[in-house]
Structure 1
């Protein structure tokens, strides 16, 4: 009886160990056609550099601007549209919203990332001016600049972090740029 129990334990242990050594992926882990490069794209974390603007209405819209910056950095046309729509909704509450509304509509209607990025440059100029007028109640906002954006005309954007994550070139030139100013 003892021999049978020992044999059963040995077989069970061998089966368990061989199952653990199985290098074949289960069916649910197969990701044929899955874009792992997209998952690996850099994400700009709005929480990392928590910022609060003095203008409550602008403060409500600003996280959507950061969301848009992240989407463009990641080269995600669909997510940029979502962020632009959120900015558009909040922009209606701001003073002189016409420019923001036109630019967010352009980003939302675009099917090409480059068209979105061109509109984002003007949108960023508007946001930079609004952030400077508002002032920051908490945290710091960095005005970052890429001299190569828009065919070497250069373009700026706002960021909550000092690390450059370029929304104009995304992964192809992720760290191209510099901090031009800090809004405190």
Structure 2
């Protein structure tokens, strides 16, 4: 009887060992993970887009000082982008907003204008995600651009970091 129990135990133990497999080859981030940042044919738009993402990240972090600085960089870079006058004005409005709440409100208009610029651009690699939060902008909802599908909401920061969804993918 002892031999039977011992053999069954060894059999179960060996099955458990063989059932294991290597998780290191799996993408553990699921479909939320980072995608390749987009590369634009137009270098000036590339710089402006990168500055926009830095501004978005500052708003996600709820850092008004950093958002003001990044908005200034964005406004400067947009001065070199064709047909970007409205976006440049909106970036300046974010820079001059004075409070995090006002920056986020101005960012909604900026994001709409940046989305128009990106849709009209040649993207040589990667994708841009147009994301949307229905609760932003006083319940009217607002969009923003991102390099990844995972939602990092610039309108609420850590209060509602994952509120939103991908509405469009620009390739």
Q: State TM-score, norm by structure 2.
A: 0.77
1:49 match: 36
What is the count of residue pairs matched by the alignment?
138
2:119 match: 132
Determine whether 1:174 maps to 2:161. yes
Give the CA deviation at 1:97. Answer: 3.1
Structure number, greater radius of gyration:
1
Counterpart Cα distance in 1 of 2:37 and 2:142 = 24
Q: State TM-score, norm by structure 1.
A: 0.71
1:146 match: 133
What do you get for the CA RMSD once the two structures are aligned? 1.4
2:142 match: 155
Give the CA deviation at 1:48. Answer: 6.0
The range that moved more, 94-103 or 128-137, is 94-103
Structure 1 residues 40-94: Cα deviation after superposition (integer angstroms, max 9, x where no partner): xxxxxxx863221122221121110000000001100000011111111111111
Are 1:135 and 1:183, in contact at CA under 8 Å, matched by a contact in 2? no
Gaps of 5+ in 1: 1-46
2:101 match: 114
Q: Which runs of 4+ in 1 moved over 3 A?
A: none
* Secondary structure at 1:144 match in 2: strand
Gaps of 5+ in 2: 1-33
1:93 match: 80
- Determine which structure has greater relative contact order: mean sequence separation of CA pairs < 8 Å that are 6+ residues apart, divided by chain length: 2
